[in-house]
Amino acid sequence: MSVGKERSADFVVNAAGRRVPVVVNGRSAVPFAGVGASIPHGPKHGPPIRSTADYPADGDKRSPNLREALERCGLRDGMTISTHHHLRNGDQVAVAALEAAAELGVKDLMWLPSASFPCHEPVVDLMRSGVVHHIEGSMNGPLGAYCSRGHMRGLGVLRSHGGRWQAIQDGEVHIDIAVIAAPTADAFGNADGSHGPSACGSLGFALADSIYADHVIVVTDHLVPFPCIPWQIQGNNVDFVVEVDSIGDPKKIVSGTTVVTKSPDRLLIAEYVARFVRDAGIMKDGFSFQAGAGGIALAFVGYIRQMMIDAGVKARFVRGGSSSYLVDLLNEGLTDYILDGQTFDLAGVRSIGEDPRHVATSPFTSYNYHGKGNFASMVDAVVLGATEVDVGFNANVVTHSDGMLLHGIGGWQNCLFAGCTILALPSFRDRIPVIVDEVTTLTGPGELVDVIVTERGIAVNPGRADLLAALEGSDLPIRPIEEIKAEVERLVGGPPAKPALGDEPVAVIQWVDGTVLDTVWRVPEATDSA
């Protein structure tokens, strides 16, 4: 285990009562001050001004391979390389880029993925060999375990999708070289995700990188003559284009089809959520909702769809991650638009590529807290998950109750700003209660969580008297959260054991405004849950 000197930094207790470091990876960090309490100052990051005189007049920016492109971008020790995760567990570009950097002999890189997947496990070796210093971005599976055990030389920094945009835009994190895997691109660097053999839908997670990085490399397995239309990534921000045989494994990039849960408990949860949205008066003409591609969320879409048909109600827009279930709503005329941040299955990819009502969004439009508003707060209802919630409605999505860092934040924090935020959860998993006294890692402040729906009942945040009033007389099982918690504890034999965590931080959880919301602590080897 190698713990860098940044671990010895001082700590303060932030507004959420969490002990957080005041220095993170050498940068001073601002402790969370409350929702909406930190008002930013100063200008957005200005990337270097370039001159077309330094780029080929015919627009042909092809470079023979990633290694040469990285070299021509001036790659050197200590730089930050960013990648996106739209290819999910099929991605072959991020590891190829970091391994090309290793071949060039550089050390101490910071890797800034928009998320990482099990396919990125080779980065563990690159961290061991010193090529990669640390990761800022979600770490799950083997990367999460490596970080949780305290093996990473820097602190992990977990940001939401909107928080990643905010950090890049505000200059808190500086990208030296962005490497953008592109399912379609032209030699000028215009790129898109909606077509090509490795089509993944939107490329929105790479947009900030393309705009703010010093250097940008587009990697594609489907080069088309200029212009690549549409161009979610604009070639005017791109330095080099590298053609490769394959950017990823299409089978792992998108699901062939997304699948609704078959668990009776989870179906019940989904039905409760839909009935809640209907009975609370949220489901009305012109309303909007967001639901992801998890089993409960997909089942919710099925229930709400039928309720919309029965009531003759049409949504103005639904927010993806998109799947065939949202595409069906669009094709059936039950929504005017899909505003889509990422595309989960083939039906979604086809739709975003062909239907102008299925619109690619980006973390800027949807989630960036340091813009002039964003879409997230305009969504009437959002259905999310969590690994833990506590009786103050605070929620955790990044660690398990044993403290292991196993999930990223995704857009979860950003979505909490919806009109009605609903966490849809089984009340226990593997006999471990999900409702606890205090979450292991605070990812979302309870004041933004409105409703917790379990198979044993629905808890409404006491701060939302309006929702409680709207539901008066409903036959939904509305119950105090403490009551549901007690029932589950009786069932499984008591509250979960507190994890025995070390006193060394391994990662921090940033809030949407760039402040530090909580710390992830080292998990000693003996308590391994894996």
Binding site for a copy of itself (CB under 8 A): 36-59, 61, 169-171, 188-189, 216, 225-227, 229-231, 234-239, 286, 316-317, 337, 339, 356-357, 359, 364-365, 368-375, 377-378, 417, 513
Nearest Cα neighbor of 87 from 99, 100, 96 is 96
Q: Which helix (H) or strand (E) holds 476?
A: none
In the complex with a copy of itself, which residue's Cβ is closer, 146 or 205?
205
Q: Is 474:444 a contact under the CB 8 Å cutoff?
A: no
Q: How far is the CB of 58 from a copy of itself (least distance, A)?
A: 6
In the complex with a copy of itself, which residue's Cβ is closer, 11 or 337?
337
Nearest Cα neighbor of 529 from 503, 492, 499 is 499
Q: How far is CA 329 from CA 31, 43, 148, in A?
A: 42, 41, 41
In the complex with a copy of itself, which residue's Cβ is closer, 371 or 502?
371
Q: How far is the CB of 365 from a copy of itself (least distance, A)?
A: 6
In the complex with a copy of itself, which residue's Cβ is closer, 165 or 521?
165
Q: How far is the CB of 246 from a copy of itself (least distance, A)?
A: 26
Q: Cis peptide before 227, with omega less than 30 degrees from 0? A: yes
Name the amino acid, one letter, at 147. C
Q: How far is the CB of 64 from a copy of itself (least distance, A)?
A: 19
| Cα dihedral 322, 328, 331, 334 sign | negative
Please tell me the distance from the alpha carbon of residue 215 to that of residue 97, in angstroms, as a whole number: 14
Q: How far is the CB of 101 from a copy of itself (least distance, A)?
A: 21
Q: How far is the CB of 47 from a copy of itself (least distance, A)?
A: 6
Please tell me the distance from the alpha carbon of residue 214 to that of residue 212, in angstroms, as a whole number: 7
Burial class (CB in 10 A: 0-12, 13-18, 19+), 437: exposed
In the complex with a copy of itself, which residue's Cβ is closer, 350 or 407?
350
23-27: long-range pairs with CB below 8 Å, 24+: 24/155, 24/157, 24/508, 24/516, 25/110, 25/134, 25/136, 25/154, 25/155, 25/157, 27/172
In the complex with a copy of itself, which residue's Cβ is closer, 127 or 451?
451
In the complex with a copy of itself, which residue's Cβ is closer, 236 or 257?
236
Count the Cβ atoms, other than its own, within 10 Å of residue 345.
23
Query: Whose structure tokens read 């950090």?
Result: 167
Q: How far is CA 215 from CA 141, 206, 243, 369, 498, in A?
A: 30, 13, 17, 25, 45
Within 8 A by CB and 6+ apart from 64, the residues are 242
Name the amino acid, one letter, at 6. E
Q: How far is the CB of 234 from a copy of itself (least distance, A)?
A: 6
Q: How far is the CB of 274 from a copy of itself (least distance, A)?
A: 23
In the complex with a copy of itself, which residue's Cβ is closer, 31 or 433?
31
Q: How far is the CB of 289 from a copy of itself (least distance, A)?
A: 14
In the complex with a copy of itself, which residue's Cβ is closer, 116 or 366?
366
